[in-house]
Amino acid sequence: MNPGRLRHRIDIYGKIEIENELGEVDYIDSKIKTIWATIIPQTASLQRGQVETILSNTTHKIIVRYSAGKDITQDMYIIFRGKRFDIKYILNPYFKNSFLEIFCEEVIE
């Protein structure tokens, strides 16, 4: 893949450990890092719910450099232009350690 195609800046969010005022360990969502990526829409579907609500199931493939994304896990999520993408699974194509393919589902609020 041409590295020049990594033209989107994405923010990686995850849970970080903090200590609250009672001295207990607590977890909060916080931005971990910002990296360059390519975002490719894959599929989408609309479903009608109760009371005329429409649910969207949109999936995307996000490609990042291996060195920038090797510490990304499935319990993290991605924010791009104010939209949240929940990580479903992460692939290292052909185990080359050059790029990671992160398959996500866009969260519609």
Measured between alpha carbons, how far is 34 from 39 in angstroms, rounded to an integer? 14
Query: What is residue 42's predicted lDDT score, i.e. its pLDDT?
Result: 86
Locate 11 and state its tokens.
């923010």
Q: What is the pLDDT of residues 90-102, one digit of tens each?
A: 999 999 999 999 9
Domain with 63 in it: 3-107
| 4 vs 88 pLDDT, higher one | 88
Write out pLDDT tens, residues 6-36: 899 999 999 999 988 888 999 999 999 999 9
How far from 41 is each of 16, 23, 36, 44, 85, CA to CA, in Å? 29, 44, 17, 8, 12
pLDDT at 44: 65
Written as six digits, the tokens of 94 are 């052909």
Count of structural domains, the chain: 1
CA angle, residues 31, 33, 39, in degrees to nearest 5: 100
The verdict on pTM exceeding 0.85 is no
Tell me the CATH number at 11: 2.40.10.370
